[in-house]
Chain A
């Protein structure tokens, strides 16, 4: 049974690169440079990648392991401040299922002779994982946690 759900979440990733913000920004802005690093794991087969880096432009990246599922990243650039900030929205599909819609902000700042990159994603994560095995595994884990909490609660009385 497929359950409808919409869970909102935010996560932040912070990185430091020993390269000037101009170089780090260029690795996002120049499609030839971006193609050098914006790729899936080596075990994935050939992938599709198209970038139109301008406000209102799209980026598409699709690929996945040979046995599936196909991951499809479809982005729309919303705001670009050279060497400082990139904002885009994107959705992610696994095969035919849209699993999330996100707003992503990447900020670049000079730090310690290099660049501090702050990646913030705010998203809505949709409909859970439509894989019976994982779902069952996840549910069992959660029920174990629930059990532990309930046991702890009882012990406190």
Chain B
């Protein structure tokens, strides 16, 4: 389960690994297939796929399979936009619940006014 903090945490965790950073650096230059991503790395294809899964879970990278080729692309905007929503939604409720507090205080004063 993500929360508004951990969406960023996931992203930073994804970037905490040197192999994944090199994959991100490669993808910053443009989309690439999984084998293109694996080529410069000294690791098996399944290991590359595992790293890719971490990057995808973080929202940084998205991949799409067309025929037999899985193409990966950097995807920063979606995650950032979701962060914006979550932040705005929290502000929306914080504001409403503060208004509830103000209303309850006002209502308390009215009650006191009625019962001398």
Give me the interface of A with B, judged by CB distance under 8 Å. Answer: 3, 5, 7-13, 15, 17-19, 23-24, 27, 33, 36-39, 41, 92, 99-100, 102, 117, 119, 121-123, 125, 127-129, 134-135, 138-139, 141-143, 146, 149-150, 153, 157
Contacts and interface: CB of A to CB of B under 8 A. Distances in A.
A36 B99 CA distance: 9
Given A23-B107, A125-B85, A10 B97 contact: no
Chain A binding surface SS class? mixed
A13 B94 contact: yes
B70 interface: no
A7 B90 CA distance: 15
Contacts, number: 133
B78 A100 contact: no
Given A37-B96, A142-B80, A150 B21 contact: yes
Main secondary structure of the interface of B (DSSP, over half): helix
Interface in B71-85: 75-85
B45 to A, nearest CB: 24
A124 to B, nearest CB: 9
A23 B104 contact: yes
B85 A27 contact: no
5 contacts: A18-B104, A19-B107, A119-B97, A146-B76, A149-B15
A56 B86 CA distance: 26
Given A3-B78, A5-B78, A11-B3, A138 B89 contact: no
Closest 8 CB pairs of A and B: A128-B81, A7-B82, A5-B78, A138-B80, A37-B103, A37-B99, A142-B76, A125-B85
